[in-house]
Structure 1
Amino acid sequence: MQTYRGQKSAIISVRARDGVSIDAYLACPEGMGPFPAVVLVHHLPGWTDYYIETTRRFAHHGYLAICPNLFQRAGDGTPDDCAARVRAQGGVADDEVIDDLELFVGWVRGNKLSNGKVGLFGSCSGGRHSFLYACKREDVDACADLWGGRVVMAPNELSQKTPIAPIDLTEKLSCPLIGIFGNEDRAPSPGEVHIHESELRRFGKDFEFHRYDGAGHGFFYWHRPLYRPEQAMDGWEKILTFFKTNLTR
Protein backbone atom coordinates (compact mmCIF):
# COMPACT_ATOMS: atom_id res chain seq x y z
CA MET A 1 0.00 0.00 0.00
CA GLN A 2 1.16 3.51 -0.79
CA THR A 3 2.23 5.62 2.18
CA TYR A 4 1.10 9.21 2.65
CA ARG A 5 3.59 11.60 4.20
CA GLY A 6 1.03 14.36 3.92
CA GLN A 7 -2.06 14.00 6.07
CA LYS A 8 -4.74 16.00 7.84
CA SER A 9 -5.95 15.53 11.40
CA ALA A 10 -8.53 17.06 13.71
CA ILE A 11 -10.59 16.43 16.81
CA ILE A 12 -14.24 16.10 15.89
CA SER A 13 -17.37 15.62 17.98
CA VAL A 14 -20.19 13.24 17.06
CA ARG A 15 -23.56 13.27 18.81
CA ALA A 16 -24.93 9.92 19.95
CA ARG A 17 -28.60 8.98 19.87
CA ASP A 18 -29.01 9.90 23.55
CA GLY A 19 -27.67 13.41 22.89
CA VAL A 20 -24.19 12.91 24.37
CA SER A 21 -21.37 14.35 22.24
CA ILE A 22 -18.30 12.14 21.97
CA ASP A 23 -14.94 13.47 20.83
CA ALA A 24 -12.77 11.55 18.40
CA TYR A 25 -9.36 12.03 16.82
CA LEU A 26 -9.56 11.84 13.04
CA ALA A 27 -6.60 11.49 10.67
CA CYS A 28 -6.67 10.97 6.93
CA PRO A 29 -4.25 11.05 4.02
CA GLU A 30 -4.07 14.07 1.78
CA GLY A 31 -6.18 13.63 -1.32
CA MET A 32 -9.76 12.85 -2.24
CA GLY A 33 -9.62 9.11 -1.70
CA PRO A 34 -11.57 6.98 -1.48
CA PHE A 35 -9.71 5.41 1.44
CA PRO A 36 -10.44 2.32 3.53
CA ALA A 37 -11.33 3.20 7.11
CA VAL A 38 -10.16 2.00 10.52
CA VAL A 39 -11.85 2.68 13.86
CA LEU A 40 -9.36 2.43 16.71
CA VAL A 41 -10.68 1.08 20.02
CA HIS A 42 -8.46 2.35 22.80
CA HIS A 43 -7.27 0.43 25.83
CA LEU A 44 -8.07 0.79 29.54
CA PRO A 45 -5.48 3.58 30.05
CA GLY A 46 -7.87 5.60 27.89
CA TRP A 47 -7.69 8.00 24.96
CA THR A 48 -3.92 8.26 25.27
CA ASP A 49 -1.13 9.71 23.16
CA TYR A 50 -0.30 6.18 22.01
CA TYR A 51 -3.69 5.86 20.36
CA ILE A 52 -3.56 9.36 18.89
CA GLU A 53 -0.17 8.58 17.35
CA THR A 54 -1.38 5.18 16.13
CA THR A 55 -4.34 6.86 14.43
CA ARG A 56 -1.86 9.00 12.49
CA ARG A 57 0.13 5.88 11.69
CA PHE A 58 -2.86 4.36 9.95
CA ALA A 59 -3.38 7.60 8.00
CA HIS A 60 0.25 7.40 6.89
CA HIS A 61 -0.52 3.98 5.44
CA GLY A 62 -3.54 5.19 3.50
CA TYR A 63 -6.45 4.82 5.90
CA LEU A 64 -9.18 7.16 7.02
CA ALA A 65 -8.62 6.56 10.72
CA ILE A 66 -10.67 7.61 13.71
CA CYS A 67 -10.26 6.98 17.45
CA PRO A 68 -13.21 7.97 19.68
CA ASN A 69 -12.87 8.75 23.37
CA LEU A 70 -14.93 5.87 24.69
CA PHE A 71 -14.55 7.09 28.28
CA GLN A 72 -15.97 10.55 27.67
CA ARG A 73 -19.29 9.62 29.25
CA ALA A 74 -17.46 9.32 32.58
CA GLY A 75 -17.66 13.10 33.02
CA ASP A 76 -15.70 16.29 32.62
CA GLY A 77 -11.94 16.60 32.73
CA THR A 78 -8.95 15.54 30.71
CA PRO A 79 -8.82 12.14 28.98
CA ASP A 80 -6.58 10.96 31.84
CA ASP A 81 -9.18 12.14 34.38
CA CYS A 82 -11.91 10.24 32.56
CA ALA A 83 -9.79 7.10 32.32
CA ALA A 84 -8.97 7.20 36.04
CA ARG A 85 -12.66 7.57 36.85
CA VAL A 86 -13.57 4.65 34.59
CA ARG A 87 -10.91 2.41 36.13
CA ALA A 88 -12.14 3.28 39.63
CA GLN A 89 -15.64 2.27 38.54
CA GLY A 90 -14.46 -1.09 37.23
CA GLY A 91 -14.49 -0.21 33.54
CA VAL A 92 -17.29 0.63 31.14
CA ALA A 93 -20.27 -1.54 30.29
CA ASP A 94 -19.85 -3.67 27.18
CA ASP A 95 -23.19 -2.54 25.75
CA GLU A 96 -22.21 1.12 26.12
CA VAL A 97 -18.97 0.58 24.23
CA ILE A 98 -20.72 -1.38 21.47
CA ASP A 99 -23.36 1.32 20.99
CA ASP A 100 -20.75 4.10 20.84
CA LEU A 101 -18.54 2.16 18.44
CA GLU A 102 -21.55 1.58 16.18
CA LEU A 103 -21.94 5.36 15.99
CA PHE A 104 -18.39 5.83 14.74
CA VAL A 105 -18.38 2.84 12.42
CA GLY A 106 -21.42 4.32 10.72
CA TRP A 107 -19.94 7.82 10.69
CA VAL A 108 -16.68 6.79 9.06
CA ARG A 109 -18.32 4.42 6.57
CA GLY A 110 -20.56 7.25 5.40
CA ASN A 111 -17.73 9.77 5.10
CA LYS A 112 -17.20 11.06 1.56
CA LEU A 113 -13.53 10.00 1.71
CA SER A 114 -14.36 6.38 2.61
CA ASN A 115 -14.35 3.47 0.17
CA GLY A 116 -17.17 1.93 2.21
CA LYS A 117 -15.07 -0.65 4.08
CA VAL A 118 -14.27 -0.40 7.80
CA GLY A 119 -11.88 -2.30 10.06
CA LEU A 120 -11.53 -2.34 13.84
CA PHE A 121 -8.20 -2.17 15.66
CA GLY A 122 -7.93 -2.53 19.42
CA SER A 123 -5.43 -3.61 22.06
CA CYS A 124 -5.89 -4.91 25.59
CA SER A 125 -9.49 -4.07 26.60
CA GLY A 126 -9.86 -2.48 23.16
CA GLY A 127 -8.93 -5.80 21.55
CA ARG A 128 -11.61 -7.50 23.58
CA HIS A 129 -14.15 -4.84 22.64
CA SER A 130 -13.18 -5.08 18.97
CA PHE A 131 -13.79 -8.82 18.93
CA LEU A 132 -17.01 -8.41 20.89
CA TYR A 133 -18.25 -5.77 18.45
CA ALA A 134 -17.49 -7.98 15.44
CA CYS A 135 -19.58 -10.71 17.06
CA LYS A 136 -22.53 -8.48 18.01
CA ARG A 137 -22.70 -6.33 14.88
CA GLU A 138 -22.37 -7.08 11.16
CA ASP A 139 -21.13 -3.75 9.81
CA VAL A 140 -17.33 -4.15 9.87
CA ASP A 141 -15.17 -5.86 7.27
CA ALA A 142 -12.12 -6.82 9.35
CA CYS A 143 -11.10 -6.93 13.01
CA ALA A 144 -7.68 -6.79 14.70
CA ASP A 145 -7.51 -7.99 18.31
CA LEU A 146 -4.17 -7.26 19.98
CA TRP A 147 -3.78 -9.26 23.20
CA GLY A 148 -7.41 -8.74 24.20
CA GLY A 149 -7.87 -10.20 27.67
CA ARG A 150 -11.09 -11.51 29.18
CA VAL A 151 -12.34 -12.97 25.93
CA VAL A 152 -12.34 -16.28 27.79
CA MET A 153 -14.13 -15.64 31.10
CA ALA A 154 -15.12 -17.87 33.99
CA PRO A 155 -18.71 -17.60 35.25
CA ASN A 156 -17.56 -15.76 38.39
CA GLU A 157 -15.95 -13.06 36.22
CA LEU A 158 -19.23 -12.06 34.61
CA SER A 159 -21.00 -8.98 35.91
CA GLN A 160 -23.70 -6.48 35.07
CA LYS A 161 -21.19 -4.57 32.92
CA THR A 162 -19.75 -7.69 31.30
CA PRO A 163 -22.70 -10.11 31.28
CA ILE A 164 -21.43 -12.47 28.59
CA ALA A 165 -18.01 -13.90 27.76
CA PRO A 166 -17.00 -12.83 24.24
CA ILE A 167 -15.83 -16.34 23.41
CA ASP A 168 -19.43 -17.53 23.82
CA LEU A 169 -20.33 -15.34 20.82
CA THR A 170 -17.64 -16.78 18.53
CA GLU A 171 -20.21 -18.41 16.26
CA LYS A 172 -21.55 -14.93 15.42
CA LEU A 173 -18.22 -13.43 14.36
CA SER A 174 -19.13 -11.52 11.20
CA CYS A 175 -15.77 -10.68 9.58
CA PRO A 176 -12.17 -11.89 9.20
CA LEU A 177 -10.10 -11.63 12.39
CA ILE A 178 -6.40 -11.21 13.11
CA GLY A 179 -5.04 -11.82 16.61
CA ILE A 180 -1.63 -10.70 17.90
CA PHE A 181 -0.39 -12.19 21.18
CA GLY A 182 2.72 -12.48 23.32
CA ASN A 183 3.58 -15.89 24.69
CA GLU A 184 4.68 -14.34 27.99
CA ASP A 185 1.33 -12.61 28.52
CA ARG A 186 -0.91 -13.61 31.41
CA ALA A 187 -4.07 -11.81 30.24
CA PRO A 188 -4.71 -13.47 27.88
CA SER A 189 -2.52 -16.41 28.77
CA PRO A 190 -1.27 -18.74 26.02
CA GLY A 191 -3.84 -21.26 27.24
CA GLU A 192 -6.68 -18.76 26.81
CA VAL A 193 -5.44 -17.89 23.32
CA HIS A 194 -5.47 -21.60 22.50
CA ILE A 195 -9.09 -21.90 23.67
CA HIS A 196 -10.04 -18.86 21.59
CA GLU A 197 -8.29 -20.27 18.54
CA SER A 198 -9.98 -23.65 18.98
CA GLU A 199 -13.43 -22.04 19.08
CA LEU A 200 -12.75 -20.01 15.95
CA ARG A 201 -11.63 -23.16 14.16
CA ARG A 202 -14.64 -25.11 15.44
CA PHE A 203 -17.01 -22.61 13.85
CA GLY A 204 -15.03 -22.35 10.62
CA LYS A 205 -14.18 -18.68 11.00
CA ASP A 206 -11.77 -16.75 8.78
CA PHE A 207 -8.93 -15.87 11.16
CA GLU A 208 -5.19 -15.80 11.68
CA PHE A 209 -3.44 -15.77 15.06
CA HIS A 210 0.21 -14.80 15.53
CA ARG A 211 2.01 -15.56 18.78
CA TYR A 212 5.39 -14.13 19.69
CA ASP A 213 8.07 -15.59 21.93
CA GLY A 214 9.91 -13.11 24.12
CA ALA A 215 6.90 -10.79 24.24
CA GLY A 216 4.31 -10.17 26.90
CA HIS A 217 1.35 -7.85 27.26
CA GLY A 218 1.49 -4.57 25.34
CA PHE A 219 4.63 -5.29 23.35
CA PHE A 220 3.69 -2.72 20.66
CA TYR A 221 3.82 0.13 23.21
CA TRP A 222 7.03 1.92 22.22
CA HIS A 223 6.79 4.26 25.24
CA ARG A 224 6.89 1.43 27.79
CA PRO A 225 9.51 -1.13 28.92
CA LEU A 226 7.10 -3.75 27.53
CA TYR A 227 8.12 -2.79 23.98
CA ARG A 228 9.70 -5.51 21.85
CA PRO A 229 10.73 -3.85 18.57
CA GLU A 230 11.35 -6.92 16.41
CA GLN A 231 8.14 -8.66 17.40
CA ALA A 232 6.16 -5.41 17.18
CA MET A 233 7.37 -4.56 13.68
CA ASP A 234 6.57 -8.07 12.46
CA GLY A 235 3.12 -7.78 14.03
CA TRP A 236 2.53 -4.40 12.37
CA GLU A 237 3.48 -5.83 8.99
CA LYS A 238 0.96 -8.64 9.46
CA ILE A 239 -1.81 -6.24 10.52
CA LEU A 240 -1.24 -3.91 7.57
CA THR A 241 -1.22 -6.86 5.17
CA PHE A 242 -4.42 -8.19 6.73
CA PHE A 243 -6.21 -4.85 6.42
CA LYS A 244 -4.98 -4.34 2.88
CA THR A 245 -6.40 -7.74 1.92
CA ASN A 246 -9.78 -7.15 3.55
CA LEU A 247 -10.35 -3.42 3.19
CA THR A 248 -8.89 -2.40 -0.16
CA ARG A 249 -10.04 -5.14 -2.53
Structure 2
Amino acid sequence: MNDSLSAVTIRISGHDGDEIEAYAARPEGAERRGGVVVIHHMPGYDRGTKEIVRRFAELGYDAICPNLYFREAPGAAPDDAAATARAAGGVPDERLIGDVAGAAGWLRSLPTSNGRVGVIGYCSGGRQAVLAACTLDLDAAVDCYGAFVTGTPPEGFPLKVTNLVGQLPRLGAPLLGLFGVEDSFPGPEQVSELEQILTAHGKDFEFHTYQGAGHAFFATDRPSYNVAAANDGWERIAAFYAKHLGA
Protein backbone atom coordinates (compact mmCIF):
# COMPACT_ATOMS: atom_id res chain seq x y z
CA MET A 1 0.00 0.00 0.00
CA ASN A 2 1.41 3.37 -1.07
CA ASP A 3 -0.47 6.47 0.09
CA SER A 4 1.73 8.82 -1.96
CA LEU A 5 0.59 8.97 -5.57
CA SER A 6 -0.02 11.30 -8.47
CA ALA A 7 -3.08 11.39 -10.71
CA VAL A 8 -3.55 13.26 -13.96
CA THR A 9 -5.73 13.44 -17.08
CA ILE A 10 -3.68 12.65 -20.18
CA ARG A 11 -4.09 11.82 -23.86
CA ILE A 12 -3.05 8.46 -25.27
CA SER A 13 -3.14 6.82 -28.67
CA GLY A 14 -6.15 4.52 -28.96
CA HIS A 15 -7.77 2.52 -31.74
CA ASP A 16 -6.55 3.49 -35.22
CA GLY A 17 -4.15 5.99 -33.65
CA ASP A 18 -7.00 8.19 -32.37
CA GLU A 19 -5.97 10.52 -29.57
CA ILE A 20 -8.28 9.88 -26.62
CA GLU A 21 -8.55 11.09 -23.06
CA ALA A 22 -7.48 8.88 -20.18
CA TYR A 23 -7.09 9.18 -16.42
CA ALA A 24 -3.87 7.81 -14.95
CA ALA A 25 -2.63 7.36 -11.39
CA ARG A 26 0.81 6.23 -10.26
CA PRO A 27 2.45 5.58 -6.90
CA GLU A 28 5.56 7.49 -5.99
CA GLY A 29 8.89 5.72 -6.36
CA ALA A 30 10.97 4.23 -9.14
CA GLU A 31 10.53 0.55 -8.31
CA ARG A 32 9.36 -1.77 -11.08
CA ARG A 33 5.69 -2.74 -10.87
CA GLY A 34 2.75 -4.05 -12.83
CA GLY A 35 0.10 -1.96 -14.53
CA VAL A 36 -3.71 -2.06 -14.55
CA VAL A 37 -6.08 -0.92 -17.30
CA VAL A 38 -9.44 0.00 -15.75
CA ILE A 39 -12.44 -0.24 -18.10
CA HIS A 40 -15.25 1.96 -16.88
CA HIS A 41 -18.85 0.85 -16.45
CA MET A 42 -21.71 1.73 -18.78
CA PRO A 43 -22.48 4.97 -16.86
CA GLY A 44 -19.13 6.17 -18.06
CA TYR A 45 -15.82 7.75 -17.16
CA ASP A 46 -16.99 9.21 -13.88
CA ARG A 47 -15.78 10.12 -10.41
CA GLY A 48 -16.28 6.61 -9.06
CA THR A 49 -14.16 5.14 -11.85
CA LYS A 50 -11.37 7.63 -11.20
CA GLU A 51 -11.42 6.67 -7.53
CA ILE A 52 -10.87 3.06 -8.60
CA VAL A 53 -7.87 4.10 -10.71
CA ARG A 54 -6.36 5.88 -7.69
CA ARG A 55 -7.05 2.85 -5.52
CA PHE A 56 -4.91 0.69 -7.78
CA ALA A 57 -2.11 3.25 -7.49
CA GLU A 58 -2.44 3.00 -3.70
CA LEU A 59 -2.10 -0.78 -4.08
CA GLY A 60 1.20 -0.22 -5.86
CA TYR A 61 0.32 -0.33 -9.56
CA ASP A 62 0.51 2.15 -12.38
CA ALA A 63 -3.13 2.44 -13.49
CA ILE A 64 -5.02 4.04 -16.34
CA CYS A 65 -8.63 4.30 -17.50
CA PRO A 66 -9.29 5.29 -21.13
CA ASN A 67 -12.41 7.38 -21.72
CA LEU A 68 -14.24 5.06 -24.10
CA TYR A 69 -16.86 7.73 -24.88
CA PHE A 70 -14.38 10.49 -25.70
CA ARG A 71 -14.99 10.37 -29.45
CA GLU A 72 -18.77 10.69 -29.13
CA ALA A 73 -18.79 13.35 -26.40
CA PRO A 74 -15.45 15.05 -25.70
CA GLY A 75 -15.68 17.20 -22.58
CA ALA A 76 -19.25 16.13 -21.78
CA ALA A 77 -20.47 15.21 -18.30
CA PRO A 78 -20.32 11.43 -17.70
CA ASP A 79 -24.10 10.92 -17.77
CA ASP A 80 -24.43 12.89 -21.01
CA ALA A 81 -21.50 11.09 -22.61
CA ALA A 82 -22.93 7.71 -21.61
CA ALA A 83 -26.34 8.63 -23.07
CA THR A 84 -24.71 9.69 -26.33
CA ALA A 85 -22.72 6.45 -26.51
CA ARG A 86 -25.80 4.32 -25.75
CA ALA A 87 -27.75 6.10 -28.49
CA ALA A 88 -24.99 5.11 -30.91
CA GLY A 89 -25.22 1.47 -29.84
CA GLY A 90 -22.28 1.49 -27.42
CA VAL A 91 -18.57 1.03 -27.97
CA PRO A 92 -17.73 -1.24 -30.93
CA ASP A 93 -15.67 -4.25 -29.89
CA GLU A 94 -12.90 -3.53 -32.37
CA ARG A 95 -12.52 0.01 -31.06
CA LEU A 96 -12.52 -1.18 -27.45
CA ILE A 97 -9.69 -3.59 -28.20
CA GLY A 98 -7.68 -0.81 -29.81
CA ASP A 99 -8.22 1.56 -26.90
CA VAL A 100 -7.25 -1.06 -24.30
CA ALA A 101 -4.20 -1.96 -26.38
CA GLY A 102 -3.20 1.71 -26.38
CA ALA A 103 -3.65 1.94 -22.62
CA ALA A 104 -1.66 -1.26 -22.03
CA GLY A 105 1.08 0.02 -24.33
CA TRP A 106 1.23 3.28 -22.38
CA LEU A 107 1.65 1.34 -19.13
CA ARG A 108 4.40 -0.86 -20.56
CA SER A 109 6.23 2.22 -21.86
CA LEU A 110 6.68 3.62 -18.36
CA PRO A 111 10.15 3.34 -16.81
CA THR A 112 8.57 1.70 -13.77
CA SER A 113 6.89 -1.08 -15.77
CA ASN A 114 7.82 -4.69 -15.05
CA GLY A 115 6.18 -5.63 -18.35
CA ARG A 116 3.05 -7.15 -16.81
CA VAL A 117 -0.37 -5.58 -17.37
CA GLY A 118 -3.78 -6.60 -16.12
CA VAL A 119 -7.25 -5.41 -17.05
CA ILE A 120 -10.37 -4.98 -14.94
CA GLY A 121 -13.86 -3.97 -15.98
CA TYR A 122 -17.19 -3.29 -14.32
CA CYS A 123 -20.68 -3.78 -15.80
CA SER A 124 -20.28 -3.48 -19.59
CA GLY A 125 -16.57 -3.15 -18.85
CA GLY A 126 -16.56 -6.65 -17.34
CA ARG A 127 -17.48 -8.13 -20.69
CA GLN A 128 -14.94 -5.84 -22.36
CA ALA A 129 -12.22 -7.00 -19.96
CA VAL A 130 -12.86 -10.60 -21.00
CA LEU A 131 -12.89 -9.56 -24.66
CA ALA A 132 -9.54 -7.82 -24.23
CA ALA A 133 -8.07 -10.88 -22.52
CA CYS A 134 -9.22 -13.04 -25.45
CA THR A 135 -7.56 -10.73 -27.95
CA LEU A 136 -4.54 -8.93 -26.46
CA ASP A 137 -1.33 -9.91 -24.70
CA LEU A 138 -2.39 -9.40 -21.07
CA ASP A 139 -1.25 -11.03 -17.86
CA ALA A 140 -4.45 -11.05 -15.78
CA ALA A 141 -8.11 -10.09 -16.19
CA VAL A 142 -10.90 -9.31 -13.74
CA ASP A 143 -14.56 -9.42 -14.75
CA CYS A 144 -16.83 -7.60 -12.29
CA TYR A 145 -20.37 -8.68 -13.19
CA GLY A 146 -19.93 -8.28 -16.93
CA ALA A 147 -23.14 -8.94 -18.85
CA PHE A 148 -23.28 -11.01 -22.06
CA VAL A 149 -19.96 -12.78 -21.85
CA THR A 150 -22.44 -15.62 -22.25
CA GLY A 151 -26.18 -15.39 -22.77
CA THR A 152 -28.16 -13.28 -25.21
CA PRO A 153 -29.18 -9.63 -24.84
CA PRO A 154 -32.96 -9.21 -24.47
CA GLU A 155 -35.04 -7.78 -27.30
CA GLY A 156 -34.81 -4.00 -27.33
CA PHE A 157 -31.48 -3.90 -25.48
CA PRO A 158 -29.90 -0.51 -26.34
CA LEU A 159 -26.37 -1.72 -27.05
CA LYS A 160 -25.20 -3.52 -30.16
CA VAL A 161 -23.53 -6.35 -28.32
CA THR A 162 -23.04 -10.07 -28.78
CA ASN A 163 -21.77 -12.71 -26.38
CA LEU A 164 -18.17 -13.91 -26.37
CA VAL A 165 -18.77 -17.65 -26.41
CA GLY A 166 -16.94 -18.06 -29.71
CA GLN A 167 -13.93 -16.13 -28.43
CA LEU A 168 -13.55 -17.74 -25.01
CA PRO A 169 -11.28 -20.54 -26.28
CA ARG A 170 -8.71 -17.79 -26.97
CA LEU A 171 -8.71 -16.45 -23.42
CA GLY A 172 -5.01 -15.93 -22.79
CA ALA A 173 -4.84 -14.63 -19.23
CA PRO A 174 -5.93 -15.89 -15.81
CA LEU A 175 -9.45 -14.62 -15.09
CA LEU A 176 -11.03 -13.58 -11.79
CA GLY A 177 -14.82 -13.23 -11.91
CA LEU A 178 -16.88 -11.48 -9.21
CA PHE A 179 -20.67 -11.73 -9.39
CA GLY A 180 -23.87 -11.16 -7.40
CA VAL A 181 -26.54 -13.81 -6.89
CA GLU A 182 -29.26 -11.17 -7.26
CA ASP A 183 -27.93 -9.93 -10.62
CA SER A 184 -29.89 -10.57 -13.81
CA PHE A 185 -27.23 -9.61 -16.37
CA PRO A 186 -25.27 -11.76 -15.75
CA GLY A 187 -27.59 -14.04 -13.86
CA PRO A 188 -26.33 -17.14 -12.03
CA GLU A 189 -27.18 -19.32 -15.03
CA GLN A 190 -24.97 -17.21 -17.30
CA VAL A 191 -22.13 -17.34 -14.78
CA SER A 192 -22.53 -21.10 -14.60
CA GLU A 193 -22.40 -21.37 -18.41
CA LEU A 194 -19.21 -19.30 -18.45
CA GLU A 195 -17.67 -21.52 -15.80
CA GLN A 196 -18.51 -24.65 -17.78
CA ILE A 197 -17.01 -23.26 -20.99
CA LEU A 198 -13.78 -22.16 -19.32
CA THR A 199 -13.45 -25.50 -17.55
CA ALA A 200 -13.98 -27.39 -20.81
CA HIS A 201 -11.15 -25.39 -22.41
CA GLY A 202 -8.77 -25.79 -19.47
CA LYS A 203 -8.61 -22.07 -18.66
CA ASP A 204 -7.12 -20.61 -15.48
CA PHE A 205 -9.98 -18.89 -13.63
CA GLU A 206 -11.61 -18.38 -10.27
CA PHE A 207 -15.15 -17.14 -9.66
CA HIS A 208 -16.82 -15.79 -6.53
CA THR A 209 -20.54 -15.11 -6.30
CA TYR A 210 -21.98 -13.09 -3.41
CA GLN A 211 -25.30 -13.79 -1.71
CA GLY A 212 -27.50 -10.72 -1.36
CA ALA A 213 -25.52 -8.73 -3.93
CA GLY A 214 -26.91 -7.55 -7.24
CA HIS A 215 -25.43 -5.71 -10.19
CA ALA A 216 -22.94 -2.89 -9.52
CA PHE A 217 -22.18 -3.92 -5.95
CA PHE A 218 -18.79 -2.15 -6.14
CA ALA A 219 -20.39 1.23 -6.97
CA THR A 220 -20.08 3.25 -3.75
CA ASP A 221 -22.28 6.07 -5.08
CA ARG A 222 -25.24 3.86 -6.04
CA PRO A 223 -27.98 2.11 -4.05
CA SER A 224 -26.64 -1.21 -5.35
CA TYR A 225 -23.44 -0.85 -3.27
CA ASN A 226 -22.90 -3.90 -1.06
CA VAL A 227 -20.24 -3.31 1.58
CA ALA A 228 -19.51 -6.94 2.42
CA ALA A 229 -19.32 -8.08 -1.20
CA ALA A 230 -17.23 -5.10 -2.30
CA ASN A 231 -14.77 -5.42 0.58
CA ASP A 232 -14.27 -9.12 -0.03
CA GLY A 233 -14.02 -8.48 -3.77
CA TRP A 234 -11.28 -5.90 -3.29
CA GLU A 235 -9.30 -8.33 -1.15
CA ARG A 236 -9.56 -10.97 -3.86
CA ILE A 237 -8.57 -8.50 -6.58
CA ALA A 238 -5.52 -7.42 -4.57
CA ALA A 239 -4.41 -11.03 -4.03
CA PHE A 240 -5.05 -11.96 -7.67
CA TYR A 241 -3.03 -9.07 -9.07
CA ALA A 242 -0.25 -9.56 -6.53
CA LYS A 243 0.08 -13.14 -7.82
CA HIS A 244 -0.04 -12.36 -11.54
CA LEU A 245 1.29 -8.81 -11.87
CA GLY A 246 3.58 -8.35 -8.91
CA ALA A 247 3.23 -5.30 -6.66
TM (normalized to structure 1)?
0.93
CA apart distance, 1:75: 3.4
Instruction: Please say which of residues 82-91 and 170-179 is displaced more in the overlay.
Output: 82-91
Report the secondary structure of 1:72's partner residue. coil
- Could you tell me which residue of structure 1 aligns to residue 141 of structure 2? 143
Calculate the aligned-residue CA RMSD, in Å: 2.0
Paired AA for residue 20 in structure 1: D
Separation in 2, partners of 1:117, 1:140: 7
Separation in 2, partners of 1:67, 1:155: 26
Separation in 2, partners of 1:223, 1:102: 29
Q: After TM superposition, where is structure 1 displaced by more than 4 Å over at least 4 residues in a row?
A: 155-161
CA apart distance, 1:24: 0.8
- Could you tell me which residue of structure 2 aligns to residue 54 of structure 1? 52
In structure 2, do the counterparts of structure 1 residues 31 and 155 end up closer, same or farther at CA, with 3 Å as the change threshold?
closer
Report the secondary structure of 2:186's partner residue. coil
Encode CA deviations 1:199-238: one digit per residue, 9 max, x unaligned: 0000000000000001000111111111111111011101
Separation in 2, partners of 1:10, 1:155: 36
Encode CA deviations 1:56-93: one digit per residue, 9 max, x unaligned: 00000101011110111113332423222001222111
**Contact 1:39/1:118, CA 8 A, preserved across alignment:** yes
Unaligned runs of 5+ in 1: none
Separation in 2, partners of 1:189, 1:103: 32
Separation in 2, partners of 1:60, 1:19: 30
- 2:120 matches 1:128: no
Name the % identity.
43
Counterpart mapping for 1:29-68 below 5 A: 29-68=27-66
Separation in 1, partners of 2:85, 2:34: 31
- Tell me the matched-pair count: 245
- Could you tell me which residue of structure 2 aligns to residue 77 of structure 1? 75
In structure 2, do the counterparts of structure 1 residues 112 and 204 end up closer, same or farther at CA, with 3 Å as the change threshold?
same
- Could you tell me which residue of structure 1 aligns to residue 5 of structure 2? 7
Instruction: Please say which of residues 11-20 and 128-137 is displaced more in the overlay.
Output: 11-20
In structure 2, do the counterparts of structure 1 residues 155 and 47 end up closer, same or farther at CA, with 3 Å as the change threshold?
closer
Counterpart mapping for 1:22-33 below 5 A: 22-33=20-31
**Contact 1:146/1:181, CA 8 A, preserved across alignment:** yes
Instruction: Please say which of residues 195-204 and 147-156 is displaced more in the overlay.
Output: 147-156
**Contact 2:178/2:209, CA 8 A, preserved across alignment:** yes
Q: Select the structure with the greater relative contact order (CA < 8 A; seq sep ≥ 6).
A: 2
**Contact 2:118/2:241, CA 8 A, preserved across alignment:** yes
Instruction: Please say which of residues 89-98 and 124-133 is displaced more in the overlay.
Output: 89-98
